[in-house]
Amino acid sequence: MPQPVFGQPIFNEGIASADPSHFLVPHPSDNQLYKQLGDALQKNTVGFGPMRGKPDDTYTLATAYGARGDDTVKAILANGKIVFHAMGDSGASDFRDYTSQLHVADQLTADALQSPSPDRPTFLYHLGDIVYNFGETKYYYDQFYEPFRNYPLPILAIPGNHDSFLVPGTAPEAAPLEIFSHNFCATQPGITVEAGDLHRTSMTQPGVYFTLDAPFVRIIGLFSNALEDPGVISSEGGKWPNVPDLQLEYLKAQLTRIQSENYSGAVLITLHHPPFVFAPQSGAQSPGSHGSSPSVLRQIDTICSEVGVYPHAILSGHAHNYQRFTRTLSFGGKNREVPFVVCGSGGHHINSVGGSNSGQPSAEPVFGTDVSYLEVNPAVQVTKLVLAKYQDTEFGYLRVAVDGQRLRIAFHLLDGTGLNQSEYDVVTVDLATSTVVAN
Ligand SMILES: [Fe+2]
C-alpha cells in the first residue's frame, strides 16, 4: 500500500464521492453460518493480550490527530467544549441493510463537515460491531472504509462481539481481533490492506481496551468479548478460562488515576455489551433483542466502589436500537443519577425494544417505566432504575458534548430518507453533582 507521507494520519479522501451502489465483495446469507455455529456463540470467548504501556496510561486525542494534535486540542480548549459522535453496530452484512448504514455514515459526515464551531465534532467513538459477520478482512472495505470514506475525523473503537468472535478453523492471522488490532491498534498510522484504494489510516490505540484522554472528557473503553450474550470482561474466577483479568487491573488503575489527579472532567465507561437492556418483567428476554450483562456491571460497580469513583455515564451498543436508562444510586455519600445509554442503531438493523414473537404484538414500554427489576445483585446501593426513553424504529447516533460543567448526550435520529436529522432525545448531567439536570 502507498503509505502516508511522514507517517501522519489521514482520515478521509481528498475528493468526496457518491455512495456505492453495491458491495465490492458479495456477502452471503448469515443463516448457514449461524446454524453451523450453534451454541458456540454463547460459549466461545476469546483471549487477548495487554494494551501497550501501563494499566493507568491514557491515549490522548492529540496522538490520534498526529501533527495536528496540539492545535486541535488548543482549539477545543479555546472553545470551552468538546463534541464527539458515538454509535455502534454500523456494519451491513446484508446488502438490503447497506442503505441504512450509508445513510448513518453520510449524516455523521455531513454533521462533521457542516457543524459550525464550537459545535463541530472532533472524533467518532465506535461502540463495536463494525464488520459483520465476524470482522473478516474482505468485508472491512465495504462495511467500514467505504461508508466512512468522506468522514473527516479520527474513528476510535472498541471491538464488539462481531469484531472478535472466532469461527472455529479460522487461521490465527485471520482472527477478527487480529484484523481489528491491525486497523485500530497499530503502532504507527498506515494504510492497511483492508482500506483498499482509500486513504484512511489505521488508528494507533494502545489495545482493544484503552482510555481516551480528550479535553474535558476521559473515556475508559472495555472490551466485552465475543459472545452474543452476555458481555465478559474477565475470567470471572475461571468461568471463562481463556479471558485474562487484565481489564480489572486496568479499570482499577484508570479510576485510581482519576481519583489521585482529582480529575474534574467527565468520566465515561464504554463497552459493547450493555449492562442494561429492556426486557419485560415477566423475565422473558425480548425476542430479537440482546440481554443485559449483570455480571459485568457487578464487576464495574465493585471496582468503582473500591476506588470511590463512579462514571458520569456508561455507553454501549449491541442492542440494535436506542435505549436510555437512568440509574439512581447512593455512592460515596451522594445521590447520583447515571445515564446508561445504548446506541446500537448505527445501520446494521433495528429491533423493537418490546420485541414481537409468533405473531403476538410487541410489549412496548412507556417512557419513564421503573425497571428496577433489571437490577441483578448490584454491588452498589441502587435506589431506582428507569427506562427514561428509547427509539426502536429509526437509525441514529449520539452526539456528546462536554464542557467544564456538564455532559450532554443527545440521540440524533435519521428520518426515513436519511437526509435529515433531528435531536430525538437528550440528557444532561452536572459533572460536579453527577445528577441529571434540565437541558
Ligand atoms: Fe453486538
pLDDT, tens digit, for every residue of 309-336?
999 999 999 999 999 999 999 999 999 9
User: 273 C-alpha to center of ligand 1: Å?
Assistant: 7
- Element (DSSP H or E) covering residue 63: helix 61-65
User: 101 C-alpha to center of ligand 1: Å?
Assistant: 15
DSSP 77: H
Q: What is the structure's pLDDT at 95?
A: 86
pLDDT, tens digit, for every residue of 215-258?
999 999 999 999 999 999 999 999 999 999 999 999 999 999 99
Q: How many CB atoms lie within 10 A of CB 178?
A: 18
Distance CA 146, CA 159 (A): 19
| Fold annotation for 38-354+365-437 | Purple Acid Phosphatase; chain A, domain 2 (3.60.21)
Contacts (Cβ under 8 Å, ≥6 apart) of 59: 204, 205, 206, 210, 211, 212, 213
* Confidence tier at 287 by pLDDT (50, 70, 90): very low
| Residues facing residue 425 across a β-bridge | 411
Mean pLDDT along residues 108-115: 93
* Confidence tier at 203 by pLDDT (50, 70, 90): very high
User: 404 C-alpha to center of ligand 1: Å?
Assistant: 33
User: 228 C-alpha to center of ligand 1: Å?
Assistant: 7
φ/ψ (deg, to 5) at 205 = -60, 150
User: 110 C-alpha to center of ligand 1: Å?
Assistant: 26
User: 291 C-alpha to center of ligand 1: Å?
Assistant: 11
Q: What is the structure's pLDDT at 73?
A: 98
pLDDT, tens digit, for every residue of 123-176?
999 999 999 999 999 999 999 999 999 999 999 999 999 999 999 999 999 999
User: 322 C-alpha to center of ligand 1: Å?
Assistant: 13
User: 1 C-alpha to center of ligand 1: Å?
Assistant: 31
User: 115 C-alpha to center of ligand 1: Å?
Assistant: 30
